[in-house]
Amino acid sequence: MILLRYIQSLLLVVAFITLVHTSSYAQQKSNPISHAKWLIGSWKNQSAKTVDIETWKKLNDSTFIGRSYSLTGADTVSSEHIRLEQHKGKLYYIPTVKNQNGGKAVTFTLTSSNNKHLVFENPEHDFPQKITYTQITNDSLVAEISGTRKGRQKAIQFPMKRGK
């Protein structure tokens, strides 16, 4: 009798854990922006020639807004506004780069993600066709743009540290 109660209790615990795990997995699948919450904040990479800065803010439960720019001395040499937008369970990375694409936004679709890695792709775009963010630690990440340019594979990495 004690053994039967023990088995029933054990089965109840296993069923509860399965239910919680399934619910959490379903929420992440229908809410992919939750995988990107670690991007929120300010990020910086300083090299000998430039300072790259990227900032992310949560606008609402389905949209993050970002800004990325590179400085050489006091001059801004590149600048872009970015939106992470979730629509109907899909996540899109939408940059608008100053002096590129006629000032129009380009849409990249999330093709792979987990809590530390995001991959967005647009095979029709000239370059890049892929944008990847990988969280290394809570205070560091690597952003990468990659794809084919002039018939050759190219990848550019941007290692960044969290700003203060």
Lowest mean pLDDT segment, chosen from 1-10, 40-49, 140-149: 1-10
| CATH number, residue 88 | 2.40.128.20
Closest to 45 measured CA to CA, from 68, 65, 66: 68
pLDDT classification of 6: cutoffs 50, 70, 90? low
Total residues found in the chain within this entry: 164
**Average per-residue pLDDT in the chain?**
87
User: Is position 6 within any domain?
Assistant: no
Total number of domains in the chain? 1
Name which residue leads in pLDDT, 158 or 6.
158
Domain enclosing residue 129, as ranges: 31-162
User: Is position 22 within any domain?
Assistant: no
Q: Considering the entire predicted model, what is its pTM? A: 0.81
pLDDT classification of 164: cutoffs 50, 70, 90? confident
Q: What local confidence, expressed as pLDDT, does residue 30 receive?
A: 73
The pLDDT of 126-151, averaged and rounded, is 97
User: Is position 112 within any domain?
Assistant: yes
User: Is position 20 within any domain?
Assistant: no
pLDDT per position as a tens digit, 24-59? 344 445 799 999 999 999 999 998 999 999 999 999
User: Is position 8 within any domain?
Assistant: no
Q: What local confidence, expressed as pLDDT, does residue 83 receive?
A: 98
Name which residue leads in pLDDT, 163 or 21.
163
User: Is position 48 within any domain?
Assistant: yes
The pLDDT of 121-139, averaged and rounded, is 97
User: Is position 26 within any domain?
Assistant: no
User: Is position 14 within any domain?
Assistant: no
pLDDT classification of 98: cutoffs 50, 70, 90? confident
Q: How many CB atoms lie within 10 A of CB 133?
A: 23
Taking the C-alpha atoms of residue 53 and residue 42, their distance in angstroms, rounded to an integer, is 7
Taking the C-alpha atoms of residue 141 and residue 117, their distance in angstroms, rounded to an integer, is 10
